[in-house]
Amino acid sequence: MRLWHGRFTLGQGIENTTVNILKGIIWTKRLFLLSVFIYFAFSCFAYDIELYSEQVSWQFEQLFNLVFCSLNYRNKEDLSRDMKVLIQRLSKTKPFNEVVERIRVYYINLSREEENTILKRTQGFPPLKVRQDFLDGISAYLKSNYKLIIIDASGFSSCAELSSIDKTSLIILGRRRYKNEHSFARGFLHELGHSLGLRDECVNCQELCPAGPPNCAPTKEEAKRWWGKLVGSVPRVHYIRGCCGDKDYIRPTIASLMNDPDKAEDFGPVNERYLKNILEGLSKK
């Protein structure tokens, strides 16, 4: 044991003890302030996220969140105008028209520097990769899952993850792909359908996902189990060949937003039933 050398008096002992106590207090305060800084650094979202004002209704409990994010937009006004087109179309489309006041809509207007650090173009699918801490930050801010919708003002590619209503997933809209606002809005609904679990009903398209419920059956027998009770009793519902890029698969309607969004105006009875069921399922939780 190493001892302190030199004369040691009672006064010196008290003085040294007092100094040590003060040093301990200072270090304790520093550690406390550091922990507070770390807490807020990781719990507060570092980017400009705002609630879409034209759609706010706090008297209803929210069902799920849509978060729009800009890419290559010249200004905030252009993004707001495009968002308005999409939200207005969503509010007129079954079954979302029944619950639109319970869907929280946010938007994040990134600077060009932020876009370059958060969003990276890839050669594969999806065409954009989003930094994970950005996604985690939104989750922490909302305290909930959400659908992140990136609108690329200069892009031509649109896609979405095949997901479910209770999971966070990514939607990419290439704004230049669409010839007008109507086409843009229907394209958004098509990709939103994917993010909520609906499959492609197209025949001459690349098979990006296998057949599966609720709207693309591998066989007619399977289709009968999924929507057979609607055939003959609900207009437009039949057993139509071709979906998910395979002409032998079976879809429920000739035309829907999941088949040809450029021409169709709605999701079709089978898809509307599915969407209504999952929205009601969230309401009961």
pLDDT of residue 101: 87
Give yes or no: residues 220 and 193 share one domain.
Answer: no
pLDDT of residue 142: 92
Give yes or no: residues 116 and 222 share one domain.
Answer: no
Range of the domain at 220: 200-264
Assigned domain for 155 exists: yes
Give yes or no: residues 240 and 140 share one domain.
Answer: no
Supply 163's token pair.
């997901």
Give yes or no: residues 208 and 135 share one domain.
Answer: no
Give the integer Cα–Cα distance in Å for 146 and 131: 16
Amino acid, single-letter form, for residue 1: M
Assigned domain for 222 exists: yes
Residue from 277, 275, 282 nearest 90 by CA: 275
State pLDDT tens for residues 55-71. 555 566 778 899 999 99
Give the integer Cα–Cα distance in Å for 103 and 65: 6
Assigned domain for 215 exists: yes
Number of neighbouring beta carbons within 10 Å of residue 31: 10
Q: Cα dihedral angle (136, 142, 148, 151), rounded to 10 degrees?
A: -110
Give yes or no: residues 186 and 205 share one domain.
Answer: no
Instruction: Reply yes or no on whether the pLDDT at 221 is more than 50.
Output: yes
Assigned domain for 256 exists: yes
The alpha carbon of residue 172 and the mean position of all alpha carbons in its chain are separated, in whole angstroms, by 10
Give yes or no: residues 138 and 231 share one domain.
Answer: no
Residue finishing a domain among 197, 227, 243: 197
State pLDDT tens for residues 95-122. 999 998 889 999 998 999 999 999 998 8
Assigned domain for 250 exists: yes
How many Cα atoms are found within 13 Å in the side-chain-facing hemisphere of 71?
Answer: 28
Quickly tell me which residue has 């801490």 as its tokens.
133
State pLDDT tens for residues 146-199. 999 999 999 999 999 999 999 999 999 999 999 999 999 999 999 999 999 999
Residue finishing a domain among 141, 171, 197: 197
Cα end-to-end distance, the chain, whole Å: 65
Assigned domain for 18 exists: no
Give yes or no: residues 56 and 180 share one domain.
Answer: yes
pLDDT of residue 44: 54
Percent of the residues in the chain that have a pLDDT greater than 70, as a whole number: 80
Give the integer Cα–Cα distance in Å for 36 and 33: 5
pLDDT of residue 19: 44
CATH number, domain containing residue 96: 3.40.390
* Strand-pair partners of 43: none
For residues 191 and 169, the answer to whether their CB atoms sit within 8 Å is no
pTM of the model: 0.82
State pLDDT tens for residues 8-31. 233 444 444 444 544 454 454 455
Assigned domain for 151 exists: yes
Domain count, the chain: 2
Peptide bond into 269 cis (omega under 30): no
Give yes or no: residues 74 and 179 share one domain.
Answer: yes
DSSP result, the chain: -PPPPS---HHHHHHHHHHHHHHHHHHHHHHHHHHHHHHHHHHS--S-EEE-GGG--TTS---EEEEEEEES-S-HHHHHHHHHHHHHHHHTSTTGGGTGGGEEEEEE---HHHHHHHEEE-SSSSSEEE-HHHHHHHHHHHTS-EEEEEEETT----EE----TTS-EEEEEEGGG-SSHHHHHHHHHHHHHHHTTPPP--SSS---S--BTTTBBSSHHHHHHHHGGGTTTSTT---EEEETTEEEEEES-SS-TTT-TTT--S--HHHHHHHHHHHHHHHH-
Assigned domain for 137 exists: yes
